[in-house]
Structure 1
Amino acid sequence: MPTVGWIREGDLDAFYESTERTPDPGPPREPGFSCPFCTAHFPSQSEFQDHVYAKHRVERPFILLRGQEPSAHAVLRSPLAFSEIAVSNTGHAKIFLDGAGPQQVSADKLREIIAETYQSELKFELINATEQRATPVATQYGFSFRIAEKSDLKRVEEAFREILVSEEITRNSIGSFLSDKRTQGTGKEYASGLADYCLGILIKERPKGESLTTPFSRYRELYGRALDVLKDFPRPLAKLITCIIRFALNNFENRGERTGYWELDFAIELLSDPCSASLTRPLESATRRPVCPIDHGTGRMLELSKRLTAQQRWSPILDDECRTLAHSDLFDVIDHQKAFAIWAASAWRLGSTECALEPLTQIAEVYPFSRWASRYLEQAST
């Protein structure tokens, strides 16, 4: 019978068939988890995860400036001491100073560079490569150093007093301030923050002679922009204006800071929590002098707070005064909220719970006054 040659078994095939044997695989292995970083093996996933977390965790590197982590793109406007800079979980850093680099430095060297830099652009990457068999963990930051000389800041403040405090605020006076030679150089950004604040006042007050076309609501944007800049300058004037702006915008997060402006400090305490406001009113001093302008709406709220604080008892006349002010069409909505809050807090402090009900109802759901107003309203209603 004919056969096909290519399927005919040869001597070599017969040899392999007689010598090769597939080993017995044995029983199936127990399921387990092998650590990719060492030789450890675990029967359960939870034990494996606990092992990796305890022995091979590579934490994110980060930097702290005065106890807080900066944003990925931060602007530094005040000098930092070496002790105010902390770098954690970092083996080394890769830096790019003013576009040059990269340069590899230690964590302490990076701290020295940050503490000694005043006018530069610094980009750097913190790297944690403690686990050799794992991908290094890196965090990137960018610092823009705009630290001005104290003498330049003083010259800016001199120009501010002469042009925007002693004279009327107009678009021309703000332009004169920004073009003054004392507001140039490293203090220019400080001057721009002060100018934004004054421009915000101008837009909020809207004097007839200015013929403004900018929307009224934009004053809040200008206040916020000024706040972002001025809060970073360690100057008494900058601190005062930032507190005024926060008060004007109903932001009381920095409660407890003292500016030396008694009316403002007390109003902040009063509106943060009426029952805890305990500032002692100082004696009137003839040496007080204006150091910065305040918009009329905010100034009126401070006057109302001061006036009601001096009262020893509540009366329908005070009730009517507060009601008229709180419902005035001339104030912005956030000034209306402050008026209701001052009304409620003052009536409550003087023991007139019933008269506090009306303003408490208006602000019980309005942040940040809701933190205490809703509680007071509930107590007064029971």
Structure 2
Amino acid sequence: MGITWVYDDAREAYQANTETVPSPGGRAPVNFLCPFCSSTFTEFSSMQRHASSQHQLRRPLLMWRGHEVGRERKIATPGEFKIANCTRAIISVDRAAEETIDIAKLEALLGSATNASVRVRLENRPDKKMAAAVSSYRLEFRIADTEALSQVEEAFQEYLVRAIPNPDRIRIFLEDPRCTGVGEEYASGLYAYVHALLLKEGAGDNGFISAYALHTERFGEALQKLEGMDRKLARSVCSLVRLIRNDLSGDGDPGLGQIGVAYDMLRGPDVYGASVRGSVPAGELPLCPIDHGTSRIIALANRLADADRWSAMLREECRTTASDALLHADDHRKVFAYWAVTALRLGDRGAARYALQQIASIYPFDGWASAALAGNGSP
């Protein structure tokens, strides 16, 4: 092992005593590059805000009658189709091979389809650097013409109106050739309504088609299938369903007779006026079966609509009906609404007070009932 000596010459000694080395300093600034353009940012959050505001990727939409259709949807009534946020459309009709189609042609094709199974895939890729947003739809078109709808209604009248509805008659109705093909969706909606009536009246206790535990769900299915069909029977059923469910989202229809009067009275004294009293023929023929509870409610509404003065007899009839344990709670609320509307229409605000108190905080009557209770409604 040896020892080595290192000597600094004069130049090295001079430099060591006269020059300083700068300190290394901190880390170099980090820049975040936008993945879709050349913009750079010193903060990641700024880059995120830029990407979300300047490079938005929206999901493509298939609209029908102003609303997006579901992932799977049966179309039973005609309507306009519109496509939004789409750069490429692919279609398959009746299980044929998929093909790319122009968006305008796709909208026209869907708008003219009547009896077909259509699969649609929409893609939106505004930038090649982006992954495409994709929406897929499966549409079953079963749009019946007037003749097919009339045949379904004939079978409905034959099996379920002129005869007492029961499980066997419902099965025969569904199996009737007039209720197949493009008319199947219409028949299915009518079936759901009658089934809901049987469930409501207790016919479901024997296990008959027990897929739904509550009749309200079947009423909702009937409304979904029949809503928008330009048929008097369909409009009557939809109004009945809304009446039974206290659903005031529908439009009034003077052509629905006693059903229309009972439905319009639920809207309050400002909507239902005295001018329509007595306009309903008493002997109108039934278009569809109605459960006993709803029949009783409709009859009460029309008797009150025809009344020209308030009396203790009307108050007692309303009180007795509203306290009937056999009626559903929704029917009790309808009675209170009819009671209040009639008393207010006939100028007896004191007689309406108790009924208004029962529904002033219950949707959908709370709007007009609370205002009338506070003295801001119609006299």
Q: Return 92-101 or 278-287, whichever deviates more.
A: 278-287
Partner of residue 292 from structure 1, selected from 284, 288, 293: 288
Aligned-partner Cα distance in 1 for 2:283–2:317: 31
Aligned-partner Cα distance in 2 for 1:72–1:199: 27
User: Which residue of structure 1 aligns with residue 78 of structure 2?
Assistant: 79
Q: Which runs of 5+ in 2 are unaligned?
A: 4-21
Distance 1:234 1:261, change over 3 A: closer
Query: Is the 1:237–1:291 contact (alpha carbons within 8 Å) kept by the matching residues of 2?
Result: yes
Distance 1:299 1:137, change over 3 A: same
Aligned-partner Cα distance in 2 for 1:319–1:158: 42
Offset at 1:48? 4.4
Paired letter, 2:235? K
User: Which residue of structure 2 aligns with residue 276 of structure 1?
Assistant: 271
Q: Residue 275 of structure 1: SS of its match in structure 2?
A: coil
Aligned residues: 355
Tell me the TM-score normalised to structure 2 length: 0.81
Matches within 5 A, 1:8-27: none
Q: Return 278-287 or 171-180, whichever deviates more.
A: 278-287
Partner of residue 267 from structure 1, selected from 262, 266, 270: 262
Offset at 1:2? 6.8
Query: Is the 1:76–1:232 contact (alpha carbons within 8 Å) kept by the matching residues of 2?
Result: no
Q: Return 322-331 or 117-126, whichever deviates more.
A: 117-126
Aligned-partner Cα distance in 1 for 2:96–2:295: 50
* 1:258 is the counterpart of 2:262: no
Query: Is the 2:174–2:188 contact (alpha carbons within 8 Å) kept by the matching residues of 1?
Result: yes
User: Which residue of structure 2 aligns with residue 52 of structure 1?
Assistant: 51
Distance 1:60 1:321, change over 3 A: same
Aligned-partner Cα distance in 2 for 1:219–1:115: 34
Query: Is the 1:263–1:306 contact (alpha carbons within 8 Å) kept by the matching residues of 2?
Result: yes
Matches within 5 A, 1:127-166: 127-166=123-162
Query: Is the 1:203–1:212 contact (alpha carbons within 8 Å) kept by the matching residues of 2?
Result: no
User: Which residue of structure 2 aligns with residue 247 of structure 1?
Assistant: 243
User: Which residue of structure 2 aligns with residue 41 of structure 1?
Assistant: 40
Query: Is the 2:257–2:281 contact (alpha carbons within 8 Å) kept by the matching residues of 1?
Result: no
Offset at 1:91? 0.7
Offset at 1:235? 2.4
User: Which residue of structure 1 aligns with residue 328 of structure 2?
Assistant: 332
User: Which residue of structure 2 aligns with residue 103 of structure 1?
Assistant: 99
Offset at 1:259? 5.7
Distance 1:217 1:320, change over 3 A: farther
Paired letter, 2:192? D
Tell me the TM-score normalised to structure 1 length: 0.80
Distance 1:154 1:307, change over 3 A: same
Q: Which runs of 5+ in 1 are unaligned?
A: 4-22
Partner of residue 222 from structure 2, selected from 215, 219, 226: 226
User: Which residue of structure 2 aligns with residue 349 of structure 1?
Assistant: 345
Aligned-partner Cα distance in 2 for 1:303–1:50: 62
Query: Is the 2:236–2:287 contact (alpha carbons within 8 Å) kept by the matching residues of 1?
Result: no
Offset at 1:155? 0.9
Q: Return 282-291 or 319-328, whichever deviates more.
A: 282-291
Paired letter, 1:38? C
Distance 1:73 1:178, change over 3 A: closer
Offset at 1:25? 7.9
Distance 1:55 1:2, change over 3 A: same
Paired letter, 1:246? R
Aligned-partner Cα distance in 2 for 1:203–1:35: 60
Q: Return 332-341 or 229-238, whichever deviates more.
A: 229-238
Aligned-partner Cα distance in 1 for 2:280–2:140: 44
Paired letter, 1:249? R
Offset at 1:379? 4.1
Q: Residue 116 of structure 2: SS of its match in structure 1?
A: strand
Distance 1:361 1:203, change over 3 A: same
Offset at 1:331? 1.3
Q: Residue 101 of structure 1: SS of its match in structure 2?
A: coil
Q: Return 85-94 or 175-184, whichever deviates more.
A: 175-184
Offset at 1:212? 4.9
The CA deviation string for residues 327-352 of structure 1, in whole angstroms up to 9 with x for no partner, is: 11221222112112211222233333
Distance 1:31 1:344, change over 3 A: farther
Distance 1:173 1:137, change over 3 A: closer
Q: Residue 339 of structure 1: SS of its match in structure 2?
A: helix
* 1:196 is the counterpart of 2:216: no
Q: Residue 93 of structure 1: SS of its match in structure 2?
A: strand
Partner of residue 305 from structure 2, selected from 287, 302, 309: 309
The CA deviation string for residues 171-217 of structure 1, in whole angstroms up to 9 with x for no partner, is: 3433332333322333233223222322333343458xx99566997
Aligned-partner Cα distance in 2 for 1:349–1:44: 67
* 1:66 is the counterpart of 2:49: no
Offset at 1:51? 4.0
Q: Residue 276 of structure 1: SS of its match in structure 2?
A: coil
User: Which residue of structure 1 aligns with residue 372 of structure 2?
Assistant: 376
User: Which residue of structure 2 aligns with residue 235 of structure 1?
Assistant: 231
> RMSD value over aligned CA atoms?
3.2
Paired letter, 2:58? E
